[in-house]
A = this chain, B = another copy of it.
Amino acid sequence: MIIVILAGGSGTRFWPLSRLRHPKQLMSVLGGKSMLQRTVERVLPLAPERILVLTNRLQAEESAAQLAYITQVPVEVIAEPVGRNTAPAVGLAARLALSPDTVLAVLPADHVIPDQEEFCALLRRGAVTAGEGKLVTLGLVPTRPETGFGYIQVPVGSAGPGPFPVSRFVEKPDVKRAEQFMAAGNFYWNSGMFLWRADVILDELSRHMPELHGALAAMDVQDGRVTQETLEVFYSGVKGESIDVGVMEKSARVSMIPASFGWSDVGSWSALPEVLEGDGNGNIFINASGMVATDAQGCLAYGGGKLVALLGVKDLIVVETSDALLVCPRDRAQEVKGIVAELEMRGLKEYL
């Protein structure tokens, strides 16, 4: 098996901790190791033959540095010259497989999944189904009527551990439809985690994205590797498209395996309380040298190594870095990307 980790992304919603060169997946969002490091460590029990980390130029250096300590499995960081969404990246990964029946597991770098054992067990099951020629997608059992994710619909009555055939992929719904999906019981969150054989995905690309497949076929691959020059030519020549839209929504070979493990994509500061335990009053302190909470409740403080004192405040997010300080209510954490946009507009590049 080859693990393909998709690690691009700007992570503006975790500003000021996340920056252009230091996005969410390279951050120690939970304290300690970064999300990328945790993602890599999570798959080590599967003993993959290689781990490919696809990221962008700005983040390649730090990604490689963060993963230098991984010695059990070869880790290769691939710097995409330009962002072209996920289809070119997964196509490239398939071309780098030394054998056509190699199973590739494609995983985002910014998911929190506390139960490693359950996760690895599910990937092993997914690899079996993928080995049988399916495009496997993991569908997360929804725990709330979330409007921020796409959904996967399976036939009514699909029961048990799957795999299930996929009826259709559904775009992010509004609240009303999300509630209907929850009630119906045959809708799952589209996790962005996939498993397939190299030859199967390339075959499906040739069917549904022939242009991309052509560029992949023309690529000069030596011993499962390409030069940076080859990458430049490939990426500058292909169009940006997601593998969901380009292949998954069209292919007849898609299977979904339901995943019910604890999961969060920690899409913003407000999601951290889902995955971190607070004190008796639900306050979470990360990277604080000490804390005083007087009549404080439901706050998240990222302390920059300092003593953090919260007095009489509720549901606040407080984040401190070496050059910036953010304070906002938890239910407005999504708007942090607006601050980043304003800083960009004002030309304050040093804070991006």
Contacts and interface: CB of A to CB of B under 8 A. Distances in A.
A326 B309 contact: yes
How many copies of the chain does the oligomer comprise?
2
Nearest to A304: B325
Contacts of A17: none
Given A336-B311, A339-B309, A290 B348 contact: yes
Contacts of A339: 292, 294, 309, 311
A107 interface: no
B292 A310 contact: no
B325 A16 contact: no
A127 interface: no
Contact of A348 (B307, B321, B324, B328): B307
A158 interface: no
A326 B15 CA distance: 20
Interface of A: 15-16, 289-290, 292, 294, 301, 303-304, 306-313, 316, 318, 320-329, 332, 335-336, 338-339, 342-343, 348, 351
A240 to B, nearest CB: 31
A321 B290 CA distance: 14
Contacts of A322: 306
Contact of A327 (B313, B324, B342, B348): B313
A14 to B, nearest CB: 13
A291 to B, nearest CB: 10
A322 B320 CA distance: 11
B332 A312 contact: yes
A41 to B, nearest CB: 31
A312 B332 CA distance: 7
A234 to B, nearest CB: 39
Contacts of A328: 309-313
Contacts of A326: 309, 311
B307 A323 contact: yes
Contacts of A351: 290, 307
B307 A338 contact: no
27 contacts: A290-B348, A290-B351, A294-B338, A301-B325, A303-B325, A304-B325, A306-B323, A306-B324, A306-B325, A307-B323, A307-B343, A309-B324, A309-B325, A309-B327, A309-B328, A309-B339, A310-B327, A310-B328, A311-B326, A311-B328, A311-B336, A312-B328, A312-B329, A313-B329, A318-B318, A320-B320, A327-B327
